Amino acid sequence: MKEMMGHAPGRVFLSAIALSVVAFIVISFSGILEQQILLFGWMTPPLWIGMAFTIFWLICYMIYFFFFWPYR
C-alpha cells in the first residue's frame, strides 16, 4: 500500500477502488437491492450489483497491473 501511494497511478487505482466501495455502501442502503425484480428470469439485483462491482474491480486491477505496475 505504501508503494502504491508513492506514484500517481497507484493513487488513482486506490481512489477508484475506494469510490466503488462507497458506491456499493450507498447502493446497499438505498433499497434497490430489496426490490422483487428478476432479470432474465433468475438474476436478482444483489447478484447484478455484485457482478458489476467485481468486474469493475477486475478491470481496474488489470489496467494497473499490466500498464502501471512499478515492479517489472
pTM of structure = 0.79
Beta bridge partners of residue 43, listed in sequence order = 39
For 3-50, how does the pLDDT look when each residue is reduced to its tens digit (9 = 90+)?
778 888 889 999 999 999 999 899 888 888 787 888 788 888 888 888
Q: Give the model's pLDDT for residue 42.
A: 84
CA 51, 54, 58 angle in degrees (round to 5)? 135
User: CA-to-CA distance for 20 and 69, rounded, in angstroms?
Assistant: 21
Considering only CA atoms, which of 52, 53, 34 is closest in space to residue 44? 34
Going from N- to C-terminal start, the domains of the chain cover 34-72
User: CA-to-CA distance for 42 and 65, rounded, in angstroms?
Assistant: 34
User: CA-to-CA distance for 45 and 6, rounded, in angstroms?
Assistant: 37
Q: Give the model's pLDDT for residue 58.
A: 96
